[in-house]
Amino acid sequence: MRLWLQNIIACPICKTHPLQLVVLKWGEADSSIEADKLTKFFLNDLEKKIISPTSIQSIIVVDDDKLLNQKIEKLKVLFNEFKIDYDPDSLIKKIGSDTEFIVDVMYRVNVKNGLLKCPKCKRWFPIGSSIDGIPEMLPDNLRDKIKDEKFIALWLDKLPDELKRDIRLDY
């Protein structure tokens, strides 16, 4: 899943947005789309306020890829002063020459394995549990408990304590 998706994805149960993104393992960056096109997408997303600064601030990275982690930290700093109801024009002005950097990270970097966690109902949804990079946003009755257990067991040691406490396997 590209980082960008976090801007639009909501909890399928309680509809809360944004969801907290926990990156367990980075995937391959996608360089198939031209930078100019992605920049257009980004500016369009900003105008429509699809880009959510609060989503970006909630990203937690567990993977130890230093370079990518530094990029996420920089992304957070760039969006730091903006809240949900931002003014697109002043945001564009502020990020200026960092636009290219933001586009590169948000639209090309992929999460191979991760979690999306709802801050309200505390439900968690795996990314890459069945297919690398694909988030599974299933309602409780369609969740596969055994698969959930296996997924969590695989990553449990790496999860932040706060997250460990909230993880339920009995949906």
- Quick check: 118 binds Zn ion (CB under 5 A)? yes
Structure-token match 């020459």, residue found: 97
| Per CB under 5 A, 140 contacts Zn ion | no
Sheet containing 124-127: which strands, arranged edge to edge? 60-61, 20-26, 111-117, 124-127
CA distances in angstroms from 42 to 11, 55, 74, 108, 123, listed in the order given: 23, 15, 17, 12, 29
Judged by CB under 5 A, which stretch of 35-43, 72-80, 119-127, 155-163 contacts Zn ion? 119-127
What are 4's two structure tokens?
């960008």
- Answer yes or no whether residue 70 interacts with Zn ion by CB under 5 A: no
The reply on whether position 16 binds Zn ion by CB under 5 A is: yes
Span interacting with Zn ion, options 16-24, 37-45, 98-106, 128-136, rule CB under 5 A: 16-24
One of 3, 11, 59, 103 touching Zn ion (CB under 5 A): 11
* 121 lines the binding site for Zn ion (CB under 5 A): yes
Q: How far apart are CA 135 and CA 145, in angstroms?
A: 16
User: Per DSSP, which regions of 43-140 are E strands?
Assistant: 60-61, 111-117, 124-127
Choose which of 14, 50, 77, 153 interacts with Zn ion (CB under 5 A). 14
Is residue 153 close enough to count as binding Zn ion by CB under 5 A? no
Under the binding rule (CB under 5 A), the answer on residue 139 touching Zn ion is no
Q: Which residues bind Zn ion (CB under 5 A)?
A: 11, 13-14, 16, 118, 120-121
